[in-house]
């Protein structure tokens, strides 16, 4: 079975980090060797370090920032560690959590294009979309956002309002994201939702997209 190389990007509070963590856990529980890489230089205070022990006890290799490396440093001042430059050289699946927006996507350029040179797998860049965010609330806004962001490989509908999230809100997001994806010629990788809501929706959403259940982990990952 081919390696999976995936990177997650999106607007602020889209849920990209939660999706990256959940995806890593799912792959690991499926018997895959997984490395989860924190390449968020945009908001490095939302580090995966508090989850490192928990995730590594599951068998996930976590490559992320230490608190001392990020505290008080602006984006331009944060050094890229050597092991981050070779992040995709690890055997097995690699899941990358990028910073948000254009700056987040551009972080891939800092690793020297190595991710483009994989022979056995292609890195897929997925944009996580929360349609309750002002910059990605409508089809035209999503299209504009992606035009500025650059080339991506697919969209993930992660529409939510925290504890106020409802099934109908998620389904409304699915309609918007799916419409935008069709206009852009992109696939919708999945609709994601907290497990209890995902169970209500079922295996597919109202647009026929597969539903991935999420568990909350990132609430414990802020310093």
Residue 197 or residue 47, greater confidence: 197
- CB distance 37 to 5 below 8 Å: no
What pLDDT does 74 receive? 44
3-state secondary structure of 31: coil
What pLDDT does 68 receive? 46
Is a pLDDT exceeding 60 seen at residue 77? no
Tell me the sheet residues that pair with 129: 157
Rounded CA gap, 193 and 203, in Å? 11
**Can you state the angle between helices 167-184 and 139-149, rounded to 10 degrees?**
60
What pLDDT does 42 receive? 64
**If you average pLDDT over residues 105-112, what whole number do you get?**
72
DSSP state of 120: S
Is a pLDDT exceeding 90 seen at residue 23? yes
Determine phi and psi for 185, rounding to 5 degrees.
70, 30
Cβ contacts of 219-223, under 8 Å, gap ≥ 24: 220/50, 220/51, 221/17, 221/21, 221/46, 221/47, 221/48, 221/49, 221/50, 221/51, 222/45, 222/46, 222/50, 223/45, 223/47, 223/49, 223/50, 223/67, 223/71
What pLDDT does 111 receive? 63
Is a pLDDT exceeding 90 seen at residue 174? yes
**If you average pLDDT over residues 52-74, what whole number do you get?**
73
Is a pLDDT exceeding 50 seen at residue 76? no
**If you average pLDDT over residues 100-106, what whole number do you get?**
81
| CA R_g for the chain | 17
CATH of 5-220, one of 3.40.190.10, 3.90.1660.10, 3.40.50.300, 1.10.10.10: 3.40.50.300
Contacts of 208 (CB under 8 A, 6+ apart): none
Mean pLDDT value across the chain: 85
DSSP H or E run through 194: strand 188-194
**If you average pLDDT over residues 103-115, what whole number do you get?**
68
What pLDDT does 123 receive? 85
Q: What is the pTM of this model?
A: 0.88
What pLDDT does 135 receive? 96
- CB distance 26 to 19 below 8 Å: no
**If you average pLDDT over residues 88-95, what whole number do you get?**
84
The two beta strands, 93-98 and 154-157, are unpaired
> pLDDT tens digit string along 127-150?
999 999 999 999 999 999 999 999
């Amino acid at each position: 079975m081919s390696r999976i190389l995936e990177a997650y990007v999106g607007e602020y509070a889209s849920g990209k980090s939660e999706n990256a963590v959940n995806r890593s856990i799912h792959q690991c529980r499926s018997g895959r060797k997984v490395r989860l890489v924190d390449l968020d230089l945009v908001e490095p205070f939302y580090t995966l370090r508090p989850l490192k022990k928990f995730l590594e006890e599951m068998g996930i290799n976590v490559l992320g920032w230490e608190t001392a490396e990020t505290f008080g440093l602006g984006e331009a001042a944060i050094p890229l560690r050597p092991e981050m430059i070779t992040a995709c050289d690890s055997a097995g699946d690699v899941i990358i959590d990028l910073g948000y927006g254009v700056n987040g996507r551009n972080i891939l350029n800092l690793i020297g294009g190595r991710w483009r040179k994989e022979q056995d797998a292609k890195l897929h860049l997925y944009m996580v979309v929360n349609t309750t965010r002002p910059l990605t609330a409508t089809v035209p806004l999503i299209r504009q956002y992606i035009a500025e962001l650059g080339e991506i490989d697919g969209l993930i509908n992660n529409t939510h309002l925290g504890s106020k999230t409802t099934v109908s809100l998620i389904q409304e997001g699915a309609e918007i994201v799916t419409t935008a994806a069709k206009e852009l010629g992109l696939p919708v990788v999945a609709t994601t939702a907290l497990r209890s809501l995902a169970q209500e929706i079922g295996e597919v959403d109202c647009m026929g997209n597969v539903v991935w259940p999420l568990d909350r982990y990132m609430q414990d990952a802020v310093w």
